[in-house]
Amino acid sequence: MLKNTVQEYAWGSYTAIPELLGNDSPASVPQAELWMGAHPKAPSMTTFNGKQLSLLELVEKHPNEILGKKVAEKFQNRLPYLLKVLAAAKPLSIQAHPSLDQAKKGFEKENRLGIPFDAFNRNYKDDNHKPECICALSDFWALNGFRKIPDMMTLLQRICPPGLEKSFDLLRQRPDSVGLKHFFQALMTMDREAQKQIIDDAVKNARQVKHEDRAYQWVIDLNQEYPLDIGVFSPIILNLICLEPGQALFLPAGTLHAYLEGVGIELMANSDNVLRGGLTPKHIDVKELLNVLNFEQSDVDILRPRSLNPCEDRYDSIAEEFALSVITIKTGVDYCSSSKRCVEILLCTDGNAVVADFAETKPMHIKKGMSILIPAAVKKYSIKGDAVLYKAAVPV
């Protein structure tokens, strides 16, 4: 059984995570994320041979037994993924994550410069990339990648203030990834007073046309949460989507995105590297953000799970570090794991279940809010009961 850290960020929900865990609700402070994994910032705790130790320590001491030999070799004896419950009552920052090469270089550079890990201006907390998948548990509003430029221009024209015309011309003259980068760079590096004026004008214009597109209402809403922050333009320039429960998004390196509202299961490579571009009081490094961003325009690719067996559906992605599945069991319909498996974390989001290792006599009872790690050394296991569980694993 895992004991996990709850991250208390200002944008979090007072109710979602407490209700999942069966704690008093509402909480006294907003609870934003529940972390399950072995990240040094907040590793899960577990009991091994009667002693409490972190999952980070357990993996370091017994990498082959916990991870499996192939996973241990491939990922340098580290658990390669981090599983979270994300509960956003307010919008998160606009952000992107670096590629593996960018993360290694950025981490080494900031170490060489002697920037403390807890410094306000620290970008790289580790040397890993952070592809991620978000799966909605509730209606989940998100921004994901740059819109198709014609759509962006149509939306922007309706609220474009005079102070933005010069920057907007960059996009008109070259409606491709190069023009988009120039436009975005001009927007982000504009003089602060000029930014304030165009934001104020754009919000006023959005109020006049808010009935025409949901993006305009989000411009207004974001300005209420983060007054005069350049990020209020993000619903216009990025793809705006509301995921239904069970739908998911995959976000590779370089994808500008933000989670606006909702509760979801988030699975990612084991990293905490974030480059921010707005909607936050935290450090924003525009130069570094521009270096990591992918400026290709795109539609949103919504992931729907693919059935693997009567109990398990998986969300396919290109990530080498993780695979997300949802397991649904009912009375008389049991789940039996594959014998070809590696380290897994299971989180129960509804109901009650019994997990049994075929080689052991002691089954483990879990209920809503509980999570467990099943090491690679377990050859095969079953799950019985009436429950829904999300499974984090490494593709094998």
254 contacts: CB under 8 Å, gap ≥ 6: 96, 97, 98, 99, 292, 293, 294
**CA 228/CA 225 separation, integer angstroms:** 9
- Contact between 230 and 188 under an 8 Å Cβ cutoff? The reply is yes
Selected catalytic residue, list 276, 304, 306, 341: 276
Q: For residues 276 and 282, give the distance between their C-alpha atoms in angstroms, rounded to a whole number.
A: 8
Buried b / exposed e over 297-335, threshold 16 CB at 10 Å, is: beeeeebebeeeeebbbbbebebebbbbbbbbbeeeebb
Task: Say how many C-beta atoms besides its own lie within 10 A of residue 12's C-beta.
Answer: 23
Round to whole Å and give the CA distance between 161 and 372.
Answer: 53
Q: Active site includes 112?
A: no
Q: How big is the chain, counted in residues?
A: 396
Q: How many Cβ atoms sit within 10 Å of the Cβ of residue 195? A: 19
- The residues, ordered by sequence, that sit 6+ positions from 7 with a Cβ below 8 Å of its Cβ are 31, 32, 33, 34, 35, 42
40: preceding bond cis by omega (within 30 degrees): no
Gap between the Cα atoms of 105 and 25, Å rounded: 43
Q: How far apart are CA 206 and CA 202, in angstroms?
A: 6
Residues involved in catalysis = 276
